[in-house]
Chains A and B, each alone.
Chain A
């Protein structure tokens, strides 16, 4: 970072497309005024001019720097405003911030990814990153759960993943509808279906706090060690700079020390699932 750079000033980015993923989730395609590089799992602060900003992990490939995709669930004041935006408006980006997934340490291993709800957004970016290094990986298995079939985002992604060598993807829903023929139940039930060499594996969990908690518990029961489980923590990352204090989780600034942690690093803190 240049010495005289103002850390609070966002980079402008033009919103070029808005993709409706589910009734509550949209993907925003942004073209920043400068090339924007990030590591998968890192996050950005995305702002709506004059309204507010919020942290999101890009859902696009880290190999692409001229555009950026951010998948946003309508859940609060800023995201509700975002959902009303049309292509052509200018948005603000700060970042990238924090520590992403250490994909280089996954070489020669099997990667198990457990995702829930909008947690598939950062996972999609990770999947792009893993696809780029698939020759160095043993296997990538995605287990994803959504509340209903309609709430599932990136639906074409699953067929595409299943067509890639070494990749496989499974889906489940909490509540089925008439057309649903697949698995019903929380995401951890998919773990019974998969074949994975746990000793030579890492597990990644990303989703709502309750899913992260029970996902981690199940992985531990299956025999995963604390340092084999990567969690993408969600806190109120306001500044992204390790200064404002809003995302403190025990001794960690989630924005700077995370958002990706191994379970081993944070398990001593009883507040991680709050």
Chain B
């Protein structure tokens, strides 16, 4: 992989100059926690690099919670998103398969994808529920993003991933190639530390394929037991980087408003005659796991769970899916 480096102060100046022509969102830690913020010049020094992870997943930049998908829209400024962890970058590849398919490509999604430069950030350290490695996802990007950034003692090191990322970084005169072996080994060391933490934290957690088999075989009592604490709020699917189900709402003038929806809501599969395959709470609860670990993998190349752990963090019923899988694996 090719790397380029730039001093943090220089990089901050680059970002400030980019703000005149670009919209920049970046991961920021403040009193409310860590999340993406729309960056103004004053925010640049407080951008958080390499800390996992923003509360909101990357999907919200490409699939807004609610939007009119039939109205005309004017061109938006090019966009840069900084600090995305690799679990979200991997999640985006499933969204690409769904929304950029050959038969029915979604033009709004495509415009946003083409208009966005993705600067992923390698994860240095983990959060409580991070388990990307269990699903063979590294805590750093080497594909799918445009660049990946690391802040090593005031030096911003960029891993060049895509042609778009290469063009961007090559246009920054102060960015110089990295051929210092010490820097490369420092990067490797950070990766090793994070990977060790992930392995230790998720010992015994079944891998993706095994999880699919366990979920398929699971008896109804497991779903009934764990869904007792589910209030069908949909926080898990809202927080998830790969859940993208939606509802089309009609407005006068044959306009359509696309609104995020979830199989966890009652009535999601109800048809006009009243039949509802997901009427019972435990069936809706099971549906999410079947969809992620069994059905989507049969249909798509990309994973439908990237191990970000947000569904666990966001659950007000304190349901931990990994506890279910550990119980099934016993």
- A residues with CB within 8 A of B: 1, 3-10, 12, 47-54, 75-79, 92, 208-209, 234-236, 238-239, 241-251, 253, 256, 271, 274
Contacts and interface: CB of A to CB of B under 8 A. Distances in A.
B98 A78 contact: no
B254 A92 contact: yes
Interface string B223-257: 00000000000000000000011111111111010
Contact of B104 (A10, A92, A243): A243
Contacts of B271: 234-236
Interface string B271-301: 1110111000000000000110011101100
A24 to B, nearest CB: 11
B273 A208 contact: yes
10 closest cross-chain pairs (CB), A and B? A76-B272, A245-B245, A50-B252, A274-B277, A251-B298, A251-B295, A8-B69, A241-B104, A92-B254, A75-B272
A241 B247 CA distance: 12
B53 interface: no
A243 B244 contact: yes
B275 A6 contact: no
A248 to B, nearest CB: 7
Contacts of A10: 254, 256
Contact of A239 (B103, B248, B254, B291): B248
Given A5-B107, A92-B254, A244-B246, A251 B294 contact: yes
B210 interface: no
- Name A's interface SS: loop
B295 A250 contact: yes
A6 B99 contact: no
A1 B98 CA distance: 16
A50 B250 CA distance: 5
A115 to B, nearest CB: 16
A205 B299 CA distance: 26
A244 B272 contact: no
B189 interface: no
B265 to A, nearest CB: 11
A251 B290 CA distance: 9
20 contacts: A1-B103, A6-B107, A8-B70, A8-B256, A47-B254, A49-B252, A50-B250, A52-B249, A53-B248, A234-B271, A243-B98, A243-B104, A244-B245, A244-B247, A245-B244, A246-B245, A248-B263, A248-B295, A250-B295, A251-B298
B268 interface: yes
B213 interface: no
A6 B270 CA distance: 27
A257 B273 CA distance: 22
A208 B271 CA distance: 12
A79 B263 CA distance: 24
Which of A10, A238, A245, A250 has the most chain B CB atoms closer than 10 A to its own CB?
A: A245
Given A6-B70, A8-B248, A50-B253, A244 B275 contact: no
